[in-house]
Structure 1
């Protein structure tokens, strides 16, 4: 029997403005926009007003479901308990997607996990992205989430067209961006990778770091990494192997085009759980060297696509990178495996079904 409700569920998502949330929620629900945090920056959603004291009531007002994705790492367990109580008192159901069991934006993981535990245990439904993460949630919090995989970042048709028209080099992408707390900033890592590629004809390491990381006057400055990257860039023995890009954030089009020129990418994280960046790289046919922690390996769509390595061991990472580059030279790029459960439409429908189930529709 198909249960067809006369209207779409009304969802307050935290946050609503993130592309992931729009993709998985928007097609089958009425998604309420985020409150304006900064009129001069209307796209900014953090810190989210609904997570502030008393904000749960506003989140529930006019909503059937309040769905928390991320952005709560600045709140403690007691504050999130109050938030969950306010949501329920307002007549809404609480759904939580566990993107991060270990949060990449903070160093105090114990505080974060205590807060996450409160949300998970008070939620009416819990979702996560991989089976291994569901196992850990069940072990840590006593709740087994429903597994709904991450949708594509780059639309399949757009990715296919981009890969067909973009010349592929034997390039490896290593992106530091602004060096958030979980990023390994050991300068030995890029040097080891560059050394491992130096004798592979045509292979290059493409490093992207935001300029503030190299600027001694900026609070985001990382002295050791900055010095190491500059020395690497200036090393005449590696001039044909290392490309240092010290520019700011890239547009999606530029980012996708740049990655489509590469055969592999390195995620230099010391801790974390899942990665949208990994998904984007796989959409574009890259082999991805990931941390041997968290649940990055659980995002693999086919053998050889996602290669775990200890990011605190530069030589181990370099060996994995070299292996990936040699495989690409031998076999070409590794397109994403077709899986009907991982299309954007399938992921959105799975969320729709979860919403209907929690609402009894």
Structure 2
């Protein structure tokens, strides 16, 4: 869960795994899965007879620790295997990480199997909790991986640099990002490099005063534009990214990023702050930047167009697409094998009378 999430759909081979739909959320619009009803003890008790595995991906922050303990205890008592994919060791929706850490301290020791996206994240889990994760890379999500649609930018068009500030969620350092974009734009234009920083911000933002300040900062340079947009569809996001030379991730904290995966599939280089394990997802197309040093963005911009054009060559697109399709097949098969193994472990433990209490942990 959540079964409707694009990542969950991507890692599931529907020929081998029957993915239960997300239960409706009381009072929510159709299609909204959060807060996840499937991660509650009553739902698990009611639905356990038709389930074998509870796989938790996202939405953990919607639970209180006691409620999470109750849900995992219900799964354990009903004989369900519990799998947890450690996407986030720091939650991007939160500033104070202590409530989220309390939840990780419940689910990471309790899960039968753990998965994460990078070896670096697996090492952190091992160091902090003494648990071993299976490392399975983030699979292909894009519809065409750059096979069609918007071509890569070319000379003499301005270098196009994209930033998406979303709804100003806590892990995005929006003020520093816009300020450094203005400073980098000034350095680039002074050096004779034409550039356009295209900064997107959702119409519905968490902080209206900050949104207004960001617009004022962006307006101070003609090569920086800040656009307020409705929530974009996946297709619209892909089309926008495909028209960029460089995408910038101005994160304060984080662990992994779906943006990095989308950009890799579209051949768009990424420059981001050195937080979490984002750089380990696709190191060959990731440049580290410092939001206090505009020269780091300047350097990334200067290198980006050649890299972008090379990635957009038809042979490069085809090879990248084939490799990512093979990888997705391997990730799906690995998940199906993971579920079988977790189910066998739980069945063996139950036969031996080794039903562990939530919180005891296991290797």
Q: 1:103 aligns with which of 91, 94, 98?
A: 91
Contact 1:166/1:257 (CA < 8 Å) preserved in 2?
no
Q: 2:22 aligns with which of 23, 28, 34?
A: 34
Aligned to 1:11: none
Contact 1:132/1:295 (CA < 8 Å) preserved in 2?
yes
Q: Deviations over 1:149-197 (max 9, x none)?
A: 0012214x4422235x454552011100101111113253333333343
Contact 1:105/1:182 (CA < 8 Å) preserved in 2?
yes
Q: Deviations over 1:177-233 (max 9, x none)?
A: 1011111132533333333433353311000001233xxxxxx22424522323422
- Return closer, same or farther for 1:40/1:54 CA change in 2, 3 Å cut-off: closer
Contact 1:153/1:276 (CA < 8 Å) preserved in 2?
no
The answer on 1:320 being equivalent to 2:312 is: no
Contact 1:63/1:92 (CA < 8 Å) preserved in 2?
yes
Contact 2:41/2:74 (CA < 8 Å) preserved in 1?
no
Q: Deviations over 1:3-52 (max 9, x none)?
A: xxxxxxxxxxx211101101112433000000111577221001111224
Contact 1:150/1:342 (CA < 8 Å) preserved in 2?
no
SS of structure 2 residue aligned to 1:205: strand
The answer on 1:221 being equivalent to 2:215 is: no
The answer on 1:359 being equivalent to 2:339 is: no
Q: Deviations over 1:245-268 (max 9, x none)?
A: 111112222211111110111111
- Equivalent residues in 2 for 1:275-314, closer than 5 Å: 275-302=257-284, 305-310=285-290, 313-314=291-292
Contact 2:187/2:298 (CA < 8 Å) preserved in 1?
yes
Aligned to 2:199: 207
Aligned to 2:118: 130
CA distance in 2, matches of 1:40, 1:225: 27
SS of structure 2 residue aligned to 1:162: coil
Aligned to 1:194: 185
RMSD: 2.3
CA distance in 2, matches of 1:342, 1:274: 21
SS of structure 1 residue aligned to 2:216: helix
- Equivalent residues in 2 for 1:111-150, closer than 5 Å: 111-150=99-138
Contact 1:197/1:204 (CA < 8 Å) preserved in 2?
no
Runs of 4+ aligned residues of structure 1 deviating over 6 Å after TM superposition are none
Aligned to 2:140: 152
Aligned to 2:54: 66
CA distance in 1, matches of 2:46, 2:25: 14
Q: 1:171 aligns with which of 147, 157, 160?
A: 160
**Structure 1: gaps (5+ residues):** 1-13, 214-219
Q: 2:216 aligns with which of 212, 226, 230?
A: 230
User: In the TM superposition, what is the alpha-carbon distance from 1:291 to its structure 2 partner?
Assistant: 2.1
CA distance in 1, matches of 2:309, 2:265: 11
Alignment coverage as a number of residue pairs: 330
Aligned to 2:351: none
Q: 2:12 aligns with which of 25, 48, 53?
A: 25
CA distance in 1, matches of 2:187, 2:129: 42
User: In the TM superposition, what is the alpha-carbon distance from 1:108 to its structure 2 partner?
Assistant: 2.2
